[in-house]
Chain A
Amino acid sequence: VAGHEAHHPALQHHFPDLPTQKEAATFGMWVFIAQEVMFFGGLFLTYTIYRALYPEAFAAAAHHLDWKLGAFNTAVLIGSSLTMALAVHAAALGHRKKIVGFLAATIALGGVFLGIKIVEYADKFHHHLVPGPNFRFEGGDARAAQTFYSLYFAMTGLHALHMIIGIPILATIGFFAWRGRYSPGYHTPVELTGLYWHFVDIIWIFLFPLLYLIHG
């Protein structure tokens, strides 16, 4: 009887085989990522409109961000995308220890990114650049500058939240990899986590020039 045939423990009963299951899971992940584009899209739209309305104020406000920290974090996040890609690669080849090692490196680089972000946020609190009753801005249109910093905290905050959610997922996948759950034939969770992590990297690739490198 078909139901009693030996099959892969990860294969769910409503899929005929692992490749079909993987194709469905991957497609679902991409639909989720498309939804994420729309989720962040609203913030990018708001940024575009307000920057078009107040270009000078946005440039003046952006000069209070440290582009060196932003550039360093960009490099850190690109590095974490590389280690993530190498973790997926190791999973496809069945190198258990390498999966765990590269996932650990990805988590470490993600932690460095968030640590730098904490330093930057603390600096903004210190210099009264956090929108609210204590916001102070001398170099021009303070109200538009406050709009810039509202967008800065909303966009980088939502991005950081995605990383804060992503790191425990990486740790969970790393734990399962260490336990030997994944094989060359089945490691879909590693791949899908990779897609998520790379997407978060892409968001930052746009945030860095739009927030830190406004010319003016």
Chain B
Amino acid sequence: MSEHEPSAARPAHDAHEGHAGDHVVAVPVYLAVFAALMVLTIATVAASRVDLGPLNTPVALGIAVTKALLVILFFMHVKWSPRIIALVLAGAFVWLFHMIAGTGADYLSRGPVDPRPDQPVAPLGPPPR
């Protein structure tokens, strides 16, 4: 893929393109991405069947993020799109991170958050093992 220039401001005028705004990616690139996604799917199933202690969830999320990046960069052509596209997407994910991190910190650092009259309050902090 060395023929691909880093994303130009206006890919519509990229010298490699035959038609307005299209970056025609070679079919083998799509097949390779598909193969990688399938291998990573097998990897995430395999990793879930091994006891990694507290690392099981981070490993699963790491594989999922890798798969999502493959889809975004290649299937969704962000690798060859104007940078403003990546900026829009990054903004959405930064927002999501802040929402989960901020709300999570609040929930996990306060007192009982889900008092249930019929059952004891769930312990906070790190889950008991």
CA distance in complex: A202, B81 (Å): 18
Which among B48, B76, B85, B100 is the interface contact of A198 at CB below 8 angstroms? B76
| A55-B89 in contact (CB<8A) | no
Nearest B-chain residue to A68, judged by Cβ:
B45
Number of A-B contacts (CB under 8 A): 156
Interface size of A by CB at 8 A reads: 60
**Chain A window 39-67, contacts with chain B (Cβ cutoff 8 Å), 1 for yes, 0 for no:** 00100110011001111100000000001
- Give B residues with C-beta under 8 Å from A: 10, 12-13, 18-22, 24-25, 27, 30-31, 33-34, 37-38, 41, 44-45, 48, 51-52, 56-57, 60-61, 63-64, 67-68, 71-72, 74-77, 81-82, 84-85, 88-89, 91-93, 95-96, 99-100, 103-104, 107-108, 113-114, 116, 119, 122, 124, 127
| B68-A205 in contact (CB<8A) | yes
| B38-A53 in contact (CB<8A) | no
| B71-A37 in contact (CB<8A) | no
Are A202 and B20 CB-contacts (below 8 A) given A19-B12, A23-B82, A38-B96? no
A–B complex contacts, Cβ < 8 Å, 13 sampled: A19-B20, A33-B89, A37-B93, A49-B103, A53-B114, A53-B124, A82-B33, A184-B18, A185-B20, A195-B76, A206-B61, A208-B41, A209-B64
| B104-A34 in contact (CB<8A) | no
- Report, nearest first, the 6 A-B pairs whose CB atoms are least far apart: A34-B92, A19-B12, A213-B48, A37-B92, A209-B60, A215-B56
